[in-house]
Amino acid sequence: MVSITLSIPAEVKAKMNQFPEMNWSGLVRQTIVKKTEELDWRREMLELLKKEEAFDQWAVEVVRKGRKGRFAELKKAGLV
């Protein structure tokens, strides 16, 4: 395991010292692990959305091509 050093204000350290039963190192470790997992998940979701964006654009284009000239056909048929 890798160690890191954090700097915190003296006031915060004094408040932390009031709770010696608290495992501050473990809390920070869990928080960092959880946040990195959230950020990793977010990055994966953004990558999936980018892949879907190309499909969405294709689908919109297909619908536009399908509708092109449809109004004129309906008007000619007397339906509009």
Half-sphere exposure of 37 (CA within 13 A, CB side): 6
> Does residue 5 fall inside a structural domain?
no
71: confidence class by pLDDT, cuts 50, 70, 90: confident
> Does residue 50 fall inside a structural domain?
yes
> Does residue 2 fall inside a structural domain?
no
Whether this prediction's pTM lies above 0.85 is answered by no
> Does residue 41 fall inside a structural domain?
yes
pLDDT in tens, 11-47: 999 999 999 999 999 999 999 999 999 999 999 999 9
Q: What is the model's pLDDT at position 23? A: 97
Mean pLDDT across the chain:
91
Residue 26 in contact with residue 20, Cβ under 8 Å? Answer: no
Q: What is the model's pLDDT at position 53? A: 86
- Number of structural domains, the chain? 1
